[in-house]
Structure 1
Amino acid sequence: MRYLLFALSLCMTAFVPRSSPKKTNLTVEIQNVQPLKGTVFVALFPPGNEFPNGKPIDGKKVDAESATVRASFSVEPGTYAIAIFHDENSNGKMDKKMFGIPKEPYGFSNNFRPKMSAPKFSDCQFTVGNGGKTIQIALKKF
């Protein structure tokens, strides 16, 4: 009898529906968009995805039509980092000067400003809770 009850309890747990992780909203407010032409690219990174040059888990393209633009992501609560650049000439890439210095405006979460190298994930990380989050990032030219 014990074996029958045990087998039934295993069967019952196999049919319990599993809930998918609850998603919430992350809004990124990009400030200091100048000139008002081109496209702003926003890349969302989780920990460990070779920030900021690796492959983001999500990305948005926003027309540079006002000094402040917004991008929204549906994310699971957790830790993330954002990298942004303003493609002023709409060629689909970040134009660079000698030694890889960006020609076009860029920004990172926490408004981190790297000195001589690309930032680390830990420099730019932030946490999104169950209630969502809005962050502001100001673009800057080097």
Structure 2
Amino acid sequence: MFFFVALLSTLLPTRIPASQKIAFTVEVQNIRQLAGSVHIGVFKPCKDFPGSCTPTENQVVSANQKNIRVTFMVEPGDYAVAVFHDVNANGKLDKKAFGIPKEPYGFSNNFKPLFSGPSFADCRVNIGDTGKQISINLL
């Protein structure tokens, strides 16, 4: 009987528990000025992405290379990423008239907003049980 149960358990598919964290790597490309810092925010589904949403995970990295790579440990699920290059190191994304960013920025799926910011659905990335790596090109 024990042998049968052991054999059966090896044949059944295994899933990673939802509480286990998975590697989610974000590579930020096209850093044009090697100054200031790059702010990377990882968001769970929210209505007003990225506006009034709070990132689940975030990191601030020195902009000392043309490309940087950051790994977050997250639970499997849907996420969106927003990035900006704080060139003048004042801790915020500087904007022009009508809220248009003055500093480089980017979103997961390399979504390029035209007349308004993106929705969560525009930038949604599914992180499965094996993790994920994405690249974001700064605009």
Q: Which TM-score band (shorter chain)?
A: 0.7 to 0.9
- Normalised by the size of structure 2, how large is the TM-score? 0.85
Encode CA deviations 1:34-77: one digit per residue, 9 max, x unaligned.
10110000011001263112211111001101110011110000
Q: Cα RMSD (Å) of the superposition? A: 1.2
Does 2:92 align with 1:106?
Answer: no
Number of aligned positions between the proteins = 122
Alignment of 1:1-142 (within 5 A): 21-48=19-46, 50-53=48-51, 54-140=53-139
Measure, in 2, the Cα distance between the counterparts of 1:65 and 1:87: 12
Q: Is the 8 A contact 1:49 1:56 kept in 2?
A: no
SS of equivalent residue, structure 2 residue 113 = coil
Q: Is the 8 A contact 2:18 2:76 kept in 1?
A: no
State the percentage of identical aligned residues: 50
Deviates more, 1:93-102 or 1:49-58: 49-58
Encode CA deviations 1:97-122: one digit per residue, 9 max, x unaligned.
01110000000000000000010000
Q: Extract unaligned runs of 5+ from structure 1.
A: 1-18
Q: CA, structure 1 residues 20+113, in 2 after alignment: closer, same or farther (shift >3 Å)?
A: closer
SS of equivalent residue, structure 1 residue 122 = helix
- Give, as a single letter, the amino acid of the residue that structure 1 aligns with 2:48: E
Encode CA deviations 1:67-101: one digit per residue, 9 max, x unaligned.
10011110000000000000000000000001110
- Normalised by the size of structure 1, how large is the TM-score? 0.83
Q: Is the 8 A contact 2:42 2:81 kept in 1?
A: yes
Off by >2 Å, runs of 4+ in structure 1: none
Measure, in 2, the Cα distance between the counterparts of 1:82 and 1:20: 20
Q: Is the 8 A contact 2:49 2:120 kept in 1?
A: yes
Measure, in 1, the Cα distance between the counterparts of 2:54 and 2:71: 18
